[in-house]
Amino acid sequence: MISKGHNKHTALVRPVTGNFGRNEWAIVGGPCTTIKLLADAVIGSLSAKYKCAYADTSHNDDILSTSGRLASGAVLEYTDQLNFHQFNYSAQLNTIKFKQQFADADLVLVNGNHQQAKAQVVIVYNNKKASLQKRIEQLTNVQLILLAEPTDEIFDFVKEAIPHWQNIPVYSLDDRENIITFFEDKMQQAVPALNGLVLAGGKSVRMGHDKGLVNWHGKQQRYYMADMLKAHCKEVFISCRTEQKNEIDTAYNTLADTFIDLGPYGAILSAFRENPDKALLVIACDLPLMDNETLAYLIANRDPSAIATAFKSGFDDFPEPLITIWEPKSYPVLLAWLAQGYSCPRKVLINSDIGLLQAPNPDALTNVNTPEDLEKVKQVLH
């Protein structure tokens, strides 16, 4: 018998998501065709910058049934066909499966007459008043109210359900410009904060001694890199093996590997395990020529819609994984590759949708793996 106070599961930090994704809105209160047309307009305007998706349930109407939201630029559309599902699954889908399928989407719009989402857009439509009243308990996080002509007043039961309704923007349903601006602003606000991760947990086998301890710039290289990242990141962590933690200055945040024996791959996964909603600017500690200008260029050209933003290597034009911004959406991708037996971050980048940049100063990407590399860089520095 297990006592009530016993918890047999590891306490994990869960990402903040809804039923489908991180940024999702159920549009509720209007006819389904009106909701589809509104979703089309928003997706059509935002799809050039963001990966948009749409979720709905099967209808008997023929309007828009041929091309749907995919023609507007959505990367994914899910439709509940009642007796089977658009993903060709015969089994009932649960929220875990939905999140897996929508993991790549930046924005998910949902027909709130049939599906629910963590945030809502309410259409005040006279002919659908009774329908909206049935769904009043679903209005848990209303962020936008739209008035359909000839309606010019919010229903009283909506005001009662939303105590702060006066603080919510209210537009005409036909005011596409302000509606699209609303979603653009929300997506800008939703860009994940950027943490820094200095990779210093390697065993430096080829070098013969710990590369993070080399003093290039008046301090140990792992501290030099961490200090450089502090100007660009919300928080900075030094990634290390568990046995290294006590060796690192307590003035620096450490993050011990929990995915062990996987090298940099395990360090990245360990960081996401602790902070699944933060992006990671990952940098190896053995980059003595790295400069603030290169980091600033990477951040300025960051693509939050991709799983990562990386520089081209100066040697082979492949992505350089150890000076890369990894977005939170890369976490499930990295786990999926690991499940297939791969632990190479570069392989993940090569086979994924990423932002790939030309470094303004290619020398800044020079890493030091051997004593010979060390001597060459010494000559450059001095």
Query: Could you read off the pLDDT of 128-147 as tens digits, one per residue?
Result: 999 999 999 999 999 999 99
Query: Could you say which of 3.90.1300.10, 3.20.20.70, 3.30.413.10, 3.90.550.10 is the CATH number of the domain covering 194-381?
Result: 3.90.550.10
The reported pLDDT for the residue numbered 59 is 63
pLDDT mean over 307-317: 90
Which residue type sits at 191? Answer: V
Per-residue pLDDT band for 316 (boundaries 50, 70, 90) equals confident
The reported pLDDT for the residue numbered 73 is 77
Q: Domain extents for the chain? A: 24-189, 194-381
Question: Is the pLDDT assigned to residue 211 strictly greater than 60?
Answer: no
More confident residue, 163 or 227: 227
Second CATH level (architecture) for the domain 24-189? 3-Layer(aba) Sandwich (3.40)
The reported pLDDT for the residue numbered 245 is 87
% of the chain at pLDDT higher than 70: 83
The reported pLDDT for the residue numbered 152 is 86
Q: pLDDT of 242-278, one tens digit each?
A: 888 888 999 999 999 999 999 999 999 999 999 999 9
Q: pLDDT of 15-46, one tens digit each?
A: 999 999 999 999 999 999 999 999 999 999 99
Do 199 and 322 contact (CB within 8 A), yes or no? yes
The reported pLDDT for the residue numbered 207 is 42
State the virtual CA torsion across 280, 282, 288, 294 in degrees, nearest 10. -60
User: Any bridge partners for residue 77, and if so which?
Assistant: 54
- pTM of the complete model: 0.86
Window from 45-49, 163-167, 198-202, 323-327 with minimum mean pLDDT: 198-202
Do 144 and 182 contact (CB within 8 A), yes or no? yes
pLDDT mean over 339-354: 96
3-state secondary structure of 354: coil
CA angle 187, 190, 195 (to 5 degrees): 140
The reported pLDDT for the residue numbered 66 is 46
Of 103, 20, 22, nearest to 56 by C-alpha is 20
3-state secondary structure of 18: coil
Print the SS3 string covering 235-293: CEEEEECHHHHHHCCCCCEEEECCCCCCHHHHHHHHHHHHCCCCEEEEEECCCCCCCHH
The reported pLDDT for the residue numbered 376 is 62
Domain 24-189 shares a fold with domain 194-381: no
Question: Is the pLDDT assigned to residue 296 strictly greater than 70?
Answer: yes
Residue 276 CB: number of other CB atoms within 10 A? 17
From CA 32, how far away is CA 283, in angstroms rounded?
Answer: 48
